[in-house]
A = this chain, B = another copy of it.
Amino acid sequence: MSKSNNDLRHVTIIGAGLLGASIGLALKRRLPRVKIAGVGRRVASLRQALRIGAIDTAHLGAGEPVPASDLVILATPVGAFEGYLRAIRPLLKPGAWVTDVGSTKVQVVGAARRVLGSGGAFIGSHPMAGSERKGPAHARADLFAGATCVLTPSAGTPAALVARAQQFWRMLGMKVLRMTPAAHDRAVAAVSHLPHLASALLTLLPRDADLAVAATGLRDMTRLAAGDPEMWRDILLTNRGELIRAIDRLARSLKGARRLVARGDAAAIERFLRRAKDRRDELFGAG
């Protein structure tokens, strides 16, 4: 297997949503001669993806385009991956490789191993770009530029496949990290899945009468809750173990904060807020 993707001729993207269509647009910009097939369930989304030039052909099933494809990318909600893997297995041509854009990796990599075999053609990817908007209408060729993509190779993943996947995401402008599927899922539970759940809870917490005073603070804290419920249902469910551990840690720290507030410990509250501010400033820049 070549380490470069300059020989890519045919790519199938399964799922013509925000991520799938953005990959199509980005790929066209780098490799103008590549032919991209889009597979999806919704005719309207496929039409839109065609119209914006994210895909060249549209298909309601994987049967037509996969046999000719050098690369197949799964970009549906995670829950649909295993069904598509079973559908494409007998169709993949020798040397073709498969990856995905799912936000959880242990279950996805496990399903790929069961269906395609270990050391097979699959490598898990998590390009961490997106938006609370969904659908190809919001696709952008630069959605991935500057963002991070996590690759989660297994012990059996050929080095050439790792190199090729790395070169692919770098070509779209991404920084590439490697993690084990388990380390990935633990990390995203803490920095993404739990914050998403908390955003939904904070959106539903105020009484209607309280909303008269809703301002920018609530707007920021509820932005994630505007995300696609179907996609996030699958993300939360396919990372249940780590999510529950993260929920339990939040519950414990909430209890600790309640104690500080209840006993009116001004110095301890200020120290706690200062620690949070310092970490936030360090992570994302001060002011």
Residues of B within 8 A of A6 (CB): none
Q: Cβ of A29 < 8 Å from any Cβ of B?
A: no
Q: Which of the segments A44-52, A57-65, A111-119, A249-257 contacts the partner chain?
A: A249-257
Q: Which of the segments A7-15, A31-39, A157-165, A225-233 contacts the partner chain?
A: A225-233
Q: How many residues of A contact B (CB 8 A)?
A: 93
Which residue of B212, B220, B273, B287 contacts A232 across the interface (Cβ within 8 Å)?
A: B273
A206 to B283, CA, bound (A): 12
Residues of B within 8 A of A132 (CB): 287
Which residue of B79, B222, B232 contacts A283 across the interface (Cβ within 8 Å)?
A: B222
Contact B201 A183 (CB under 8 A): no
CB closest residue in chain B, given A232:
B273
Nearest CB in chain B: distance from A230 CB, A: 6
CB closest residue in chain B, given A204:
B276
Contact B286 A226 (CB under 8 A): yes
Q: Cβ of A195 < 8 Å from any Cβ of B?
A: yes
Contact B195 A229 (CB under 8 A): no
> For chain A residues 206-224, which have a beta carbon within 8 Å of chain B?
206-207, 209-224
Nearest CB in chain B: distance from A253 CB, A: 5
A210 to B190, CA, bound (A): 7
Which residue of B147, B224, B272 contacts A200 across the interface (Cβ within 8 Å)?
A: B272
Nearest CB in chain B: distance from A151 CB, A: 12
- Residues of A bordering B, CB below 8 Å: 79, 128-130, 132-133, 138, 147-148, 150, 177, 179, 183-184, 186-188, 190-192, 194-207, 209-230, 232-233, 236-237, 240, 243-244, 246-251, 253-255, 257-258, 261-262, 264, 266, 269-270, 272-277, 279-281, 283-284, 286-287
